[in-house]
C-alpha cells in the first residue's frame, strides 16, 4: 500500500502550497536595483520560495535552490518558456537556443561553443581594445559623458557586429532595437510596449533577411557565414531559425555586458577606493571582473517542471509549475557571499550564478569576461578619477534583465 506521508508519492496539494507561499512579484518593479534586492533578501528570510499569483510563477531567492533547478535541465525541467509569466515576449516560437532542450539544443551548442571558445576570444582581443579606445576617444576631451549611451551600449554592440561581419555603422540601430525588445517603452502602457516590440521585430527581421541573402551570395570569414553553413538534424538551419538565433545572440551579448559596465561604473563613482583597488594587482583583474559580474547579475532564467514532481528546497512542486531564478538574488545569498551587497575583490572563490548553470550556461562567457576586463583597463587609463555628474542621478531598472538607463560621469578632460 502507498504510504501517503512519503513526499515522493503523496499527491501535491498545489492550491494549498500556492496559498501558503503567496507573495506577489513584480517583474518590472519600479524601484532601484538595491530596493528590489532588499525585497529579495526579505523573501529569502521569510518565504524563500514564494508564489506570485500575478503571472503564476514561483520565485526563488536562495543560491542553492537556483543551482538545483538550473542543473536539472532536461532531467526535470525545460527552459521554454524562458520568461517568468510564461507569456513569450517575442511570440510563440521558441527562442534559439535558449528555449530549446534535448538533442536539438545540444546540436546548437556544438556549433556555437567553438565560435566563442577562449582561443577565438583571445584572437579578438586587439579588436576589442580598439573598439574601447575609439569609443573613449569620442568623449575624452569633453570631461563628461553619458556612459551608457556613449560606451556601455555601443561597446558590446560594435564587437557583436564585428563578429557577425555586419556593418559597424549599424551599432546605434541595433542598440535601439535591443532596448525596445528588452525594456519596452519606458513609462508607456503595455499596448505601447507591445506595438513598439512588434515594430522593432519587423525591422530586425527585414535587416537580417538582407544580411542572410547577401552572405549566401557572397560568403565571408565571419560567424554569419559559419551559421549559414551549419546543419541541425542533417539539414541547413532554416532562415526563420537563423533569424531567431541571430536575435538571441544579439540580445544576450549586448544587454548583459552593458548592464555590468553601467552598474559597475555607477558603483565606482561612489566608491573610488574600490575602483583603485581593482587595479592594485593586474594578475587579479580576472577575479575582480568575476566579482563585478556576481554583484551585477543582470539575467533571470525561468524553467518549467516536466517531471511528475520536483523537490526545490523544502517544497515538492508538480509538473507544469514555472520557476523564476533572478540570479542577482542568488548571488547575494549571504550563505556564500558574506556582506553580499558589497563589491569585495578579496572574496573566497565561490562560483557565482551570473552566467547560469547546466546545459544553458552562457555561450558568451569568455567573450563577456574579456570585453569587461579590456573595457575597465581602457577606462582606467582615461579616468583614474570620476564622479557622477551633479543633478543627474542614474536611473535603474529591473525586468527581464536588470541594469541602468543612464550614468552621467564627470572627469578631468583629456586631449
Ligand atoms: C556579463 C555578460 C553576460 C551574462 C551575465 C550572461 C548571462 C547568461 C545566462 C544567465 C545565460 C543562461 C540563461 C538560461 O539558463 O536560461 C546565458 C545564455 C546565453 N548567453 Fe550569455 N551572458 C552574458 C554575455 C553573453 C555574451 C557576450 C554572449 C555573446 C555571444 C552571450 C550569449 C549567450 C547565449 C547564446 C546563451 C544561450 C545559451 C543556451 O541556451 O544554451 N552571453 N547568458
DSSP symbols for 280-326: S-GGGHHHHHHHHHHHH--B--EEEE-SSEEEETTEEEETT-EEE--
- 149 alpha carbon to ligand 1 midpoint, in Å? 22
Helix (H) or strand (E) holding 34: helix 33-46
- Closest-CA residue to 248 (of 217, 204, 186, 188): 204
Cα(133)–Cα(306) distance, integer angstroms: 48
pLDDT digits over 20-31, tens only?
Answer: 999 999 988 889
Ligand 1: which residue has its CA nearest to atom 11? Answer: 362
* Smallest CA separation from ligand 1 atom 37, residue: 98
Return the pLDDT at 5: 44
Residue in 192, 167, 231, 369 with CA at minimum distance from that of residue 288? 369
Residue 260: CA atoms inside 13 Å, Cβ hemisphere, count? Answer: 30
What residues form DSSP beta bridges with 409? Answer: 145, 388
Query: Ligand 1, closest atom to CA 354?
Result: 5
CA separation for the pair 215, 224 (Å, rounded): 7
CA of 96 to the centre of ligand 1 (A): 12
**pTM score:** 0.94
CA of 299 to the centre of ligand 1 (A): 8
* Ligand 1 atom with least separation from CA of 368: 27
Residue 213 burial (C-beta neighbours within 10 Å; 0-12, 13-18, 19+): exposed
Give the per-residue pLDDT at 1. 36
Ligand 1: which atom is nearest the Cα of residue 303?
16
Question: What was the pLDDT predicted at 2?
Answer: 37
- The pLDDT assigned to 184 comes to 78
Measured from the Cα of 296, ligand 1's closest atom is 5
Residue nearest to atom 41 of ligand 1 (CA): 360
Q: Is 32 helix (H, G, I), strand (E, B) or coil?
A: coil
In sequence order, the 6+-apart residues with CB closer than 8 A to the CB of 192 are: 184, 185
The residue behind cell 569576461 is 369
Radius of gyration of the chain (CA): 22
DSSP tag of 152: I
Residue pair 59/43 in contact by the 8 Å Cβ criterion: yes
Tens of pLDDT, residue by residue, the chain (415 residues): 333 444 555 678 999 999 999 999 998 888 999 999 999 999 999 999 999 999 999 999 999 999 999 999 999 999 999 999 988 765 668 889 999 999 999 999 999 999 999 999 999 999 999 999 999 999 999 999 999 999 999 999 999 998 898 988 888 888 888 778 777 787 788 888 889 988 998 898 899 999 999 999 999 989 999 999 999 999 999 998 998 899 889 888 888 999 999 999 999 999 999 999 999 999 999 999 999 999 999 999 999 999 999 999 999 999 999 999 999 999 999 999 999 999 999 998 789 999 999 999 999 999 999 999 999 999 999 999 999 999 999 999 998 889 999 999 999 998 7
CA dist 36 and 19 (Å) reads 23
Answer whether 261's CB lies under 8 Å from 151's CB.
yes
Inter-helix orientation angle 365-382/154-164, to 10°? 130
Q: What's the pLDDT score for residue 92? A: 62
Q: Distance between terminal CA atoms of the chain? A: 83
Going by alpha carbons, the residue nearest to atom 6 of ligand 1 is 355
| Ligand 1, atom 16: closest residue by C-alpha | 301
Ligand 1 binding site (Cβ under 6 Å of any ligand atom): 79, 82, 97-98, 109, 116, 248-249, 252-253, 256-257, 260, 293, 298-299, 301, 327, 354-356, 360, 362-364, 367-368
Q: Which domains does the chain have, with CATH numbers?
A: 14-410 (1.10.630.10)
Residue-level pLDDT at 250: 87
Q: Is the four-CA dihedral 201, 207, 212, 213 of positive or negative sign?
A: positive
Amino acid at each position: 500500500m502507498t504510504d501517503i506521508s512519503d513526499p515522493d508519492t503523496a499527491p501535491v496539494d498545489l492550491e494549498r502550497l500556492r496559498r501558503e507561499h503567496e507573495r506577489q512579484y513584480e517583474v518590472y518593479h519600479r524601484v532601484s536595483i538595491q530596493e528590489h534586492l532588499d525585497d529579495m533578501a526579505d523573501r529569502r528570510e521569510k518565504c524563500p520560495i514564494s508564489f506570485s499569483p500575478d503571472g503564476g510563477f514561483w520565485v526563488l531567492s536562495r543560491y542553492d535552490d537556483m543551482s538545483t533547478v538550473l542543473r536539472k535541465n532536461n532531467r526535470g525541467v525545460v527552459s521554454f518558456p524562458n520568461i517568468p509569466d510564461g507569456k513569450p515576449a517575442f511570440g510563440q516560437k521558441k527562442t534559439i537556443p535558449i528555449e530549446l532542450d534535448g538533442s536539438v539544443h545540444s546540436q546548437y551548442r556544438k556549433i556555437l561553443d567553438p565560435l566563442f571558445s577562449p582561443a577565438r576570444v583571445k584572437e579578438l582581443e586587439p579588436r576589442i581594445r580598439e573598439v574601447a579606445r575609439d569609443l573613449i576617444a569620442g568623449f575624452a576631451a569633453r570631461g563628461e559623458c553619458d556612459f551608457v549611451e556613449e560606451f556601455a551600449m555601443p561597446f558590446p554592440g560594435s564587437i557583436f557586429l564585428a563578429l557577425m561581419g555586419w556593418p559597424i555603422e549599424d551599432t546605434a540601430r541595433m542598440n535601439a532595437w535591443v532596448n525596445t525588445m528588452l525594456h519596452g517603452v519606458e513609462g508607456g502602457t503595455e499596448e505601447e510596449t507591445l506595438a513598439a516590440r512588434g515594430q522593432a521585430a519587423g525591422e530586425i527581421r527585414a535587416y537580417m533577411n538582407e544580411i542572410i541573402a547577401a552572405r549566401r551570395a557572397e560568403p565571408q570569414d565571419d560567424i554569419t557565414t559559419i551559421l549559414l553553413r551549419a546543419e541541425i538534424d542533417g539539414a541547413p538551419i532554416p532562415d526563420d531559425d537563423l533569424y531567431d538565433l541571430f536575435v538571441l545572440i544579439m540580445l544576450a551579448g549586448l544587454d548583459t555586458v552593458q548592464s555590468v559596465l553601467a552598474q559597475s561604473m555607477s558603483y565606482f563613482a561612489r566608491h573610488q577606493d574600490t575602483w583603485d583597488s581593482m587595479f592594485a594587482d593586474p594578475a587579479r583583474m580576472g577575479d575582480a571582473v568575476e566579482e563585478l559580474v556576481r554583484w551585477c547579475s543582470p539575467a533571470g532564467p525561468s524553467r518549467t517542471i516536466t517531471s511528475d514532481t520536483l523537490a526545490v528546497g523544502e517544497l515538492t512542486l508538480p509538473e507544469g509549475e514555472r520557476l523564476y531564478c533572478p540570479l542577482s538574488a542568488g548571488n547575494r545569498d549571504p550563505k556564500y557571499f558574506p556582506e553580499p551587497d558589497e563589491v569585495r575583490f578579496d572574496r573566497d572563490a565561490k562560483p557565482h550564478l551570473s552566467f547560469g548553470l547546466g546545459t544553458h550556461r552562457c555561450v558568451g562567457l569568455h567573450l563577456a569576461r574579456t570585453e569587461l576586463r579590456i573595457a575597465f583597463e581602457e577606462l582606467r587609463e582615461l579616468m583614474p578619477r570620476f564622479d557622477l555628474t551633479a543633478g543627474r542621478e542614474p536611473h535603474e531598472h529591473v525586468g527581464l534583465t536588470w541594469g541602468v538607463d543612464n550614468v552621467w560621469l564627470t572627469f578631468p578632460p583629456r586631449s
